[in-house]
Every structure is written in structure tokens, then in C-alpha cells.
Amino acid sequence: RNDKTRRILKQVAGAAVPWHVKPRRFERRGPSKRRLFSSGRMGAFLDKPKVEKHTEGGQGNGLRYALASMQGWRVEMEDAHCAMVGLPCGLDRWSFFAVFDGHAGARVSAHCAQNLLDAIIQTDEFAHTVAAASDVGELPEGGEELAERVATGIRRGFLCLDDQMRALPEVASGEDKSGSTAVCALVSPSHVYFANCGDSRALLCRNGQPAFTTRDHKPINPGEKERIQRAGGSVMIQRVNGSLAVSRALGDFEYKQVAGRGPCEQLVSPEPEVTVQARDPSSDEFLVLACDGIWDVMSNEELCQFVHHQLCISHNLEELCSAVIDICLYRGSKDNMSIVLVLFPGAPSVSDEALQHDRELNQLIEKRITEIVSEVSEAELNNIIQTLAEEELPGLPPGGGILAKRSFIEEVYSKLKPPSTSSESVKGHSHDCEQAEEAASH
């Protein structure tokens, strides 16, 4: 083991790469939705990421939720979110959660976060459905037909909000050209209504497995491409007119100016794809809403597995959401990152067995770090992470791997190394973490 440790450390010695170097691994879902050929700050990166997070959480209606967001490498935070348990208009038993991923600025995403729910509730379809409910917010028998009316109200709410935003002064003047994806979940006592517009994504986990995910709206999708071409546009390098990498979004009005065509027939459509899922108390565990800064580097299965595992060792949902963002940053995500996690009553609970396994894993990690530092005193933090990844330690968190333990590794490393030698390494380099993740995958 001594020889192997020295060999690995020798291979990675001096491999530190400046923060601003963009990693190439994990770009699984095509191009960033930022426009390629635009002036200004779009697509620009900071020299170092802003890693401070906003977190919050709450509970009600039998649900627990938390959310976290980080600006990361982007020069501006363009994500926004909304979380509300207990809705107005007599919908006390309903809840609403949403994530908005802005581009070309934060104006549209912020406006959507503040106004989308109201736009939905105020539609005639939604109001009539609520009036027909026999209980407070609960659909009566024959509820599937009424559920479809709710879905129609959600679609109408998106279109109304998009139309209303045209009148915003900065939009009407042409000063603001921003747009935003939107993914939301409206949770009633009997159903979950998922709505997606763009490439943010929702995931529903049942019995530890992804049971449903929304569909990303990309210009290369056959139906989307056909609409774009009918509107006189083209799809080049997987982008609308070679520029925008999502085919549906709120805002982005420069792509919605084709005369004689309705709002859903434009180059970029504001129409959401709405899916109704009947709740199943016996199998529903949790749902996740997240922007592509998360999904670019974590698959549906990985995120489902990681959340399921972490729920067995901790009650703290805000820490769990924060951990997901950290893993995505370490894997090389260069975008803003936002995630909302909503737990149903059937979610996994903390177990003594899982806690014991986690303690044993921490003990093993601490033992190996101590051995590595004693063998190679000049070992840097990221060298150690890659060494541990090469060793394929048993029992690592599924979906997260060794990077899910980075905070603990930093803690142990800081105890063993003086602050003067560990402070810079503890900041980490996404490129080195990318190498560690690649090593762990082999």
C-alpha cells in the first residue's frame, strides 16, 4: 500500500490547475442554455466560484421541504425559487414549489418566482376547479377529470404570465432580454402536478427509484425542432438560430416575434409540459426540482440514490440539499445551482444500521488519510482525494462517491496539516476533483 500510495501521489503531484480552467468532463446534456453569440456578461465566469449558499426549509400538509442555491462560477446569480406550504384561496392543504433558471439576466426569473403561482390560481380553469372541490382543496370523487382542469389552469397560468411580462418597462423598452426556464410541482392531497418549461427538471422518487421525470425541452428534440423551423428559424449546434440552447422558456421575447403565429408556435414557446401524478402513500418518498447546474453532472439515478441514502443518516434536509450542490461543484458544474427537495410521509427515516455504516466509513477514511499524510507529508488535499478514489473504498454514498465525503476529508486533513499548508488546498480545485471522480468511475 505504501508503494501504491506514493505512486498515485507522484502521478498527481503538481497537477493543480487554476480555478478558472473549465473542466470538460460531465458535460452530459449538451450546451449551456446561455446564448453563444451575445454581448455582455452572458456565459462569463469568475476567477473563483462564489460558494456561499442560501438555504431554507419548512413543513406542513404532511410534507417536509428544504432548498439550497449557490451562485458558483457565474458572474451573476440568475436562479430563483419559490416554496409555499398552504396556498391562498381556500387551498390550505395544497403546496407549491418551483425553480427558475434565468439566462441573460435575473429579471425574468425573479418575476416568475414572485408571480407564477398567482397567475395559475387566477385562471378561470383553476378557480372553477377549486369551487367544485367538496373539501378544502381536495378533489371529490371523479377527481381525474377535475385534475385535468387543474392541469389546464397551470398551462394557462404560464401563458398569461409570459404575456403579462411583455409589459414590464425594462422588457417593453428592449433593455432587458432575459428569459428563464421553469419547473414546478403543485402538491394537492391527492395529486402532484408537475409543470416544466425548458431544461430544469423534476424527479419523483418511489421505493428508492426514479418513478417519473420531466422532459427537457431542447431544440434538437424532433417536435421542438419542427416548431422552430415552421416559425422560420433553424437549429444549429443544438441551439435555436445557433444561439439559445432551450426551446421553451418564459421571457426571451426576441424569439417570440413571428407575426401570425400564436405564443406556442414561436421559435421559443412559453407552454409548459404538465403531467399529473396520483399520489401513492405506500411508495411516494420525495420529489426534487433542480436547474441544469445540478442535472448536468448528476443523473436522475445518482441523485435519487444519494438523497435516499442520506435520508437514512440525517434528518437535516437543508444540509442534504447543500451537500448535493457541493458534489455538483466538485464534479465541475460551472452554472448557478438550485435544488428543492420535498419529502412525502413515506420518505426513508434515519436508521441505526445506516448510522453505524456511516461511522465505520468515516473511521476508515480517517485512518487512510492519517496513513497517507504520515507516508507522504507533502500530500495535498486533492492528491489525497484522488488517492482515496483510486482505492475504491467500500460503502461510499451511492450517487455521490468519495466527493460526498469531501467535507469530512477536509476536516480530517485540517487537523493533520497546519492551516498555512492546508488553507489553499481546502478550497479545492474542480479540475482535481474531476480527476478524482474519473478515477472513482474506473
Structural domains in the chain?
2-20+352-441 (1.10.10.430), 61-296+333-343 (3.60.40.10)
**pTM score:** 0.88
The closest alpha carbon to 359, from 422, 410, 313, belongs to: 313
Give percent of the chain above pLDDT 90.
74
Query: Is residue 55 within 8 Å of 314, Cβ to Cβ?
Result: no
C-alpha cell at 328: 455538483
**Strand partners for 331:** none
Q: In sequence order, which residues have a C-beta less than 8 Å from that of residue 342 and are 6 or more positions away?
A: 63, 64, 65, 95, 97, 185, 187, 286, 287, 288, 289
State the average pLDDT over residues 137-141.
50
Q: What is the pLDDT of residue 147?
A: 87
Please report which confidence band the pLDDT of residue 152 belongs to, taking 50, 70 and 90 as the band edges.
very high
Residue 16 has pLDDT above 50, yes or no: no
What lies within 8 Å, CB to CB, of 245 at 6+ separation is 30, 31, 32, 33, 34, 35, 199, 218, 219, 238, 239
pLDDT band at 424 (very low <50, low <70, confident <90, very high): very low
Q: Which amino acid is at 434?
A: E
- pLDDT band (50, 70, 90) for residue 136: very low
The pLDDT tens digits of the residues spanning 54-75 come to 999 999 999 999 999 999 999 9
pLDDT of res. 27 = 38
Instruction: Tell the residue number behind the cell numbers 407564477, with chain if given.
Output: 116
CA separation for the pair 152, 146 (Å, rounded): 10
| Average pLDDT estimate for 141-145 | 64
Range with the lowest mean pLDDT among 115-129, 166-180, 408-422? 408-422
Residue 105 has pLDDT above 90, yes or no: yes
Could you give the CA distance from residue 424 to residue 82 in angstroms, rounded to a whole number? 36
pLDDT in tens, 199-229: 999 999 999 999 999 999 999 999 999 999 9
Check residue 48 and give its pLDDT: 96
Task: Give SS3 for 83.
Answer: strand
Q: What does the pLDDT look like over 76-88, one tens digit per residue?
A: 999 999 999 999 8
Radius of gyration of the chain (CA): 23
pLDDT value at position 32?
A: 52
Q: Which of 417, 396, 394 is nearest to 406 (CA)?
A: 396
What are 262-289's pLDDT values in tens digits?
999 999 999 999 999 999 999 999 999 9
Mean confidence (pLDDT) of the chain: 87
Instruction: Report the C-alpha gap between 121 and 116 in whole angstroms.
Output: 9
